[in-house]
Structure 1
Amino acid sequence: MPKIFFSYKRLLIIGADAMAFTVSYALAFFLRFDLHIPLNQLANFLVTVWLVVGIRLLTFLYLGAYEGVWRYASIADLSTLLKAMAASQVVITAAVLFLQHANFPRSTLLIDAALALIFVGLTRFGIRMTRQWRQQGHPQDLPRLIIFGAGDLGETIVRDMQRRKRPTHKIVGFADDDHAKWRMRIHNVPILGGRKELPKLIEKHGVDEVVVAVNHSRGPLIQDLIELCRKEPGRKVEFKTVPTIEETLRSDHTHQKGFRRIELSDLLRRKPVATDLGAVKNLIAGKTVLVTGAGGSIGSELSRQILRFKPSKLILLEKHNTALFYIDRELCAVKNGTCLVPAAGDITDPDLLDNLFDAHKPQLVFHAAAHKHVSLMEANPQEAVKNNTIGTHLLAEKAARYHAERFLFISTDKAVRPTSVMGVSKRMAEMVIRALAPAAETKFLSVRFGNVLGSSGSAVNIFKEQIAHGGPVTVTHPEVTRYFMTTQEAVELILQACSMGSGGEIFVLNMGEPVKVADVARNLILLSGLEPDKDINIVYTGLRPGEKMYEELFRSNDVRQDTGHPDIFAALPEEADLAILRNHIESLRALCSQADPAPLLRKIQQLVPAYTPSAVHAAQPCPCDQPSAIAPVSDLAS
């Protein structure tokens, strides 16, 4: 049925063109002879009209002039039309002059060509205009929209919206910082002004939404636009954006077509991540891969991206059954031929690990399982060390014993000069990995990075929850800063680092510039359409045990090494750290079984002299005594 309908529409265009060619040829004779055609020239017309129309139609068909969908006409379609007209004109001139070389008015052929081009152009233009008029609907009832960015992305938005069967917005105009574009038009949509004029344009035209249509450096731009509109009293608007080219190419399932609301990640002052997909594919394709903590924020995204590169088998190790159920169900829906193995269990269980490694022989191990919440681990140091340090040691030994090719441990910026139990437990895990690297066939690697936006239990999610409840938003200190990265960016760089390492490296991801947590809270309030300190208050509660004012990615004694990738560096710690934990794992395990954490903390300080523990561990304050119903968090979990 669709093919018949398509053929029917094509026949209508061909019929319209046949009529246009006939009329243009007749009109050429009338114009040539001032509307009075002599009888001998009328005979010339009647003899040659079928030839002219036939040649034009055949040439148009041969050169593909009827293959385009004219509602989406482009420069390429116009070029095809001109080529078909020129080619047919050459053949017509030769044929007519050969058959009617005597007493034939040659000028009529030139007049006919010009008229025919005008008529077929009007036919196609009419198709587009009729469709647009039919679809305009009632623009006064639609949300009014300004597009900031009169470039390729903005033009694409207008073109797409003008093609829709049912309009969803009334486009008022563009705004752009390029003064040369002002008072010009794109698809008949005016460019009204620049950034500084935006508040006035919003008020003048009754704008409901502003869509930011730029591909690069959108974070600072969006912040400036929001701040400009916030300072000017008047109409409140909702800011939206569209997926960038990088997001579209990434084909991330979280990015939907069309407009989307501004997200916190859009405000980060970060450049797009460059990934060598070929190297990552060579690393993963056809391999058996184990991901621990596969149901967590990083582990689940790792599993999604690894699946894109078609490993032969993907083992999902997760101790939380519900998280494992959902990630397994999500990945099963992909159906790309990879064998998925959901494994419910804990990395501290040696029997489970033996069974997994014996049965599946994983070639690549991505270790994302961890206890990550700073405040909880301050109250439970034994559990932090048991899971983050001893569990990592156990898993790494199994990988070495079963000759895995690569083992990548996901660390944190809190491992640098740690002040928290969580951070120092991760630092000791880095030391475990460094200790095993020299003697093993397995290439042991670590990746260190900062906070992941929107990860489970992170401050961003808590801030959103507090805003939804009407506030206040609780931040520990007005000057506390953190590094931020999206989950997708972090995982892309993790995979890239794993493909680069030769064994023993601690890779450090380029986190960009640190951001004040208070600014994160303020931006989230603004993105919710509310005013900070007016609609929602920000309350400062003071640093909690284990928290730092700022995080670091390198220690002062670390040697920084260039890797050749702009977003990945290598940190080479002091040689004294390399094997320090090899003779102390059993001691740590014994201390973790004791009720009193004090001996364990003293042992940790002995092993990691840079660790400065919190003043209070045994007498932690009750979380219920905190000033907010939701405990304040400024340590966004990695």
Structure 2
Amino acid sequence: MNKQIYRLGQIFLDSAVAFLSCYLAYLIRFEGDVPPTHQSLALILPWVAIIGRLGTQTVFGIYQQIWRLFALKDSMRLLYAVKVYSISIFIVTRLIIPQSDLSFTGIPLGIVVIDGSLCFLGMAGLRLARRCYKPKLKVSPYQSSSKKRRVLVIGAGYSGSKIVQEIQRNPYSSLTVIGFLDDDSSKIGRKIEGIKVLGKISEINKLAEAYQIDEVIVAMPSASNEKICNIVQATQGMPFKLKVLPGRPEILTDTPFTNQVRDIQIQDILGRPEVILDFSEEFNGQFPSAYEQVFESRVLVTGAGGTIGSEICRQLARLKPKTLLLLGRGENSIFKIKQELSRLFPELETVTIIADIRHKQRMDAIFSIWQPELVFHTAAHKHVPLMQENPTESLENNVFGTGNLAQLAAKYGVKTFVMISTDKAVNSTNFMGLSKRLAELTVKSFSVQSETRFLIVRFGNVLGSRGSVVPIFKEQIARGGPVTVTHREMTRYFMTTPEASQLVIQSLAVGKSGQILILDMGEPVKIYDLAERMIELAGFLPGDDISIEVVGCRPGEKLHESLVNDSEQAFKTEHPKIMGVFEAMPSSDAWQEIKQELKEAIDDNLSSEQLWERAIHCQKMWYKIKS
């Protein structure tokens, strides 16, 4: 009932504007003295205008708009509706009616122009007034007494203005924007959304102190890591809190920007720009775009509750698959990603499956029931030290589990099977890396004779993942140190979770069956330097506030990782940021024999050294057994 009254009120106001605009147009055109030949029209047309304009605007969907959200796109639609009626009434009165009544002279062009202009300005003005109107809301004594945090926004562009708009529209916001900072000299001194651009980014500390700033928001999604790093270093030791709007790969366009503002994270200052992949992009290869392959497909993600698995699910959800199957062993993590996807993508069908990939009978039933067209296999044991102490778990889960999935993918006609691998599979010195290398060879062997396209995506460390050093360093910093590093010269390749997930999905568009794909990850990063940056990011001085201790390499750990082993050769694919790896294909007949030998080695309870030798032997067997 209230909505109907509200809508009728809008129609009444538009009717009043239509009537007054037409009436005033005559008075203005004839300077208040309407000649007798036009007096009858001056009395009739305002009433006609009410019916004509309301009808035209209904056709254009004007009354489906929400006035308090009136924006440029809505104003253009309103302008088109006003113009269509004005042109129509001019044609009818000047070209059609005079053909049957020669004495009828029609409406002067000046009146049509004045009427249309007044009508558009009046109706647009009403809507803008409603948008600007902020009703006084009752707040609790606690809310009224709480002090709003004073904010500086770095970046006087689209993102910065959006943040200001959202803060100004929200009466419950605990923030108040004091000013902008921007390095564009032409913007300094000018106002955006009523907020002044106070100066350049280099003046941040001086201006923050002068205006008693509590919080600084970096609203530049396209800013380089180097620029963010410079801001972090420049504000070291300042009392305000520094936050950032995520980069373009992370940002959600359908979510308010203020809800996405977060603390500065290590990936923001890592020193390498994030790679952004376009899923709709067509390449010169033989495969459609990743979007075309995922759209309306049944997609299975194993390990869907993990860091990479859950991010792949988020990215896939935006590509509108028909069904997204979330498979994992940990019920809590699967429940969490299911709830998140249901909230963000309510139209998407998601199915939760709690299962262990080592149980072939259970996995066979899942493939039989759901008939997935695409499989993204992320489930794996990843902790190097833990797998050194529990090598049989590493081999059973990473090798046998992957073999089960690859075999079922071939059996049930899966179109594409994508396995997630790691740089630790290259010249492996630990059980985790060796198990992933054996899994790579397993998947490659199934690609020799199967119609299913089998792909392997290999990348380095993922920032913030459960097996990454980042959460470990965070905990150590939170405890006050020391931060432990195994070797001062140790390096690793790093990438963000969105980057890794996008690479996995984009492999659909460029990878040929049996290929290993790797991302152009730039230069490796020193772990010691990473520790220093994280300490600085937390607001401390490395060595003074929090110490860094070098504790020595752990069993199976290498100083430097590589993405290509001695027997492989990298080559360019159709995508400029994705490379392929060429090597001889393993035997397609070796899987059962290697699986049996590994199983016997595990059942015999061999020592770690003996089990390592047997696994290395199995690795060599792939190329000795003839197809």
Q: Distance in 2 between matches of 1:434 and 1:220?
A: 39
Per-residue deviation, 1:375: 0.9
Match of 1:15 in 2: 16
Match of 2:235 in 1: 229
Conserved? CA contact 1:215–1:244, under 8 Å: yes
Per-residue deviation, 1:270: 1.0
**1:463-507 deviation digits (Å, cap 9, x = unpaired):** 333333333333333443322333333233223324543321112
Match of 1:340 in 2: 351
> 378, 382, 386: which is aligned to 2:396?
386
Match of 1:594 in 2: 605
Return 42-51 or 375-384, whichever deviates more.
42-51
Per-residue deviation, 1:264: 3.6
State the SS of the aligned residue for 2:549.
strand
Q: Distance in 1 between matches of 2:232 and 2:174?
A: 23
State the SS of the aligned residue for 1:396.
helix
Which residues of structure 1 form unaligned runs of 5+? 610-638
Conserved? CA contact 1:276–1:496, under 8 Å: no
Q: Distance in 2 between matches of 1:312 and 1:130?
A: 41
How many aligned residue pairs are there? Answer: 590
Determine if the alignment matches structure 1 residue 460 to structure 2 residue 470. yes
Determine if the alignment matches structure 1 residue 261 to structure 2 residue 260. no
Return 148-157 or 327-336, whichever deviates more.
327-336
Q: Distance in 1 between matches of 2:134 and 2:325?
A: 54
**1:225-253 deviation digits (Å, cap 9, x = unpaired):** 121222xx65423323267487335x6x9
Aligned residue identity for 1:344: A
Change (3 A) 1:140 1:90: farther
Match of 1:621 in 2: none
Change (3 A) 1:498 1:589: farther
Match of 1:50 in 2: 43
Return 151-160 or 393-402, whichever deviates more.
393-402
Conserved? CA contact 1:59–1:84, under 8 Å: no
**1:363-404 deviation digits (Å, cap 9, x = unpaired):** 544332222101112222333233323443344344445554
Return 356-365 or 192-201, whichever deviates more.
356-365
TM-score, structure 2 normalization = 0.77
Q: Distance in 1 between matches of 2:5 and 2:432?
A: 67
Q: Distance in 1 between matches of 2:392 and 2:416?
A: 29
TM-score, structure 1 normalization = 0.76
> 345, 367, 378: which is aligned to 1:368?
378
> 500, 508, 512: which is aligned to 1:502?
512
Q: Distance in 2 between matches of 1:242 and 1:395?
A: 35
Matches within 5 A, 1:26-425: 32=31, 49-51=42-44, 53-54=46-47, 57=50, 60-61=53-54, 64=57, 67=63, 72-74=70-72, 76=76, 79-80=79-80, 83=83, 87=87, 121=121, 125=125, 128=128, 132=132, 134=134, 141-165=147-171, 168-230=174-236, 234-241=238-245, 244=248, 247-248=251-252, 257=259, 259-268=261-270, 269-276=273-280, 279-280=289-290, 282-284=292-294, 289-303=299-313, 305-306=315-316, 316-324=326-334, 326=336, 338=349, 340=351, 342-347=353-358, 349-356=359-366, 363-401=373-411, 403-425=413-435
Match of 2:285 in 1: none
Q: Distance in 2 between matches of 1:263 and 1:215?
A: 14
Conserved? CA contact 2:334–2:352, under 8 Å: no
Aligned residue identity for 2:8: S
State the SS of the aligned residue for 1:561.
strand
Match of 1:428 in 2: 438
Match of 1:446 in 2: 456
Q: Distance in 2 between matches of 1:143 and 1:525?
A: 25
Q: Distance in 1 between matches of 2:86 and 2:202?
A: 49
Conserved? CA contact 1:481–1:514, under 8 Å: yes
Aligned residues with identical type, % of pairs: 33
Return 205-214 or 393-402, whichever deviates more.
393-402
Conserved? CA contact 2:430–2:557, under 8 Å: yes
Per-residue deviation, 1:572: 1.1
Conserved? CA contact 2:515–2:582, under 8 Å: yes
Conserved? CA contact 1:217–1:270, under 8 Å: no
Conserved? CA contact 1:136–1:167, under 8 Å: no
**1:95-117 deviation digits (Å, cap 9, x = unpaired):** 9xx9xx99x9x99x969976995
Q: Distance in 2 between matches of 1:127 and 1:319?
A: 53
**1:403-452 deviation digits (Å, cap 9, x = unpaired):** 54443322101111222221122112222223333233433322111222
Return 477-486 or 14-23, whichever deviates more.
14-23
Q: Distance in 2 between matches of 1:586 and 1:195?
A: 64
Change (3 A) 1:171 1:150: same
Aligned residue identity for 1:220: E
State the SS of the aligned residue for 1:508.
strand
**1:159-209 deviation digits (Å, cap 9, x = unpaired):** 444444556533222222222322233233322222212222222222222
State the SS of the aligned residue for 1:588.
helix
Structure index of larger Rg: 1
Q: Distance in 2 between matches of 1:21 and 1:397?
A: 76
Q: Distance in 2 between matches of 1:110 and 1:404?
A: 69
**CA RMSD in angstroms, aligned pairs only:** 4.6
Change (3 A) 1:189 1:422: same
Q: Distance in 2 between matches of 1:192 and 1:335?
A: 42
Return 113-122 or 272-281, whichever deviates more.
113-122
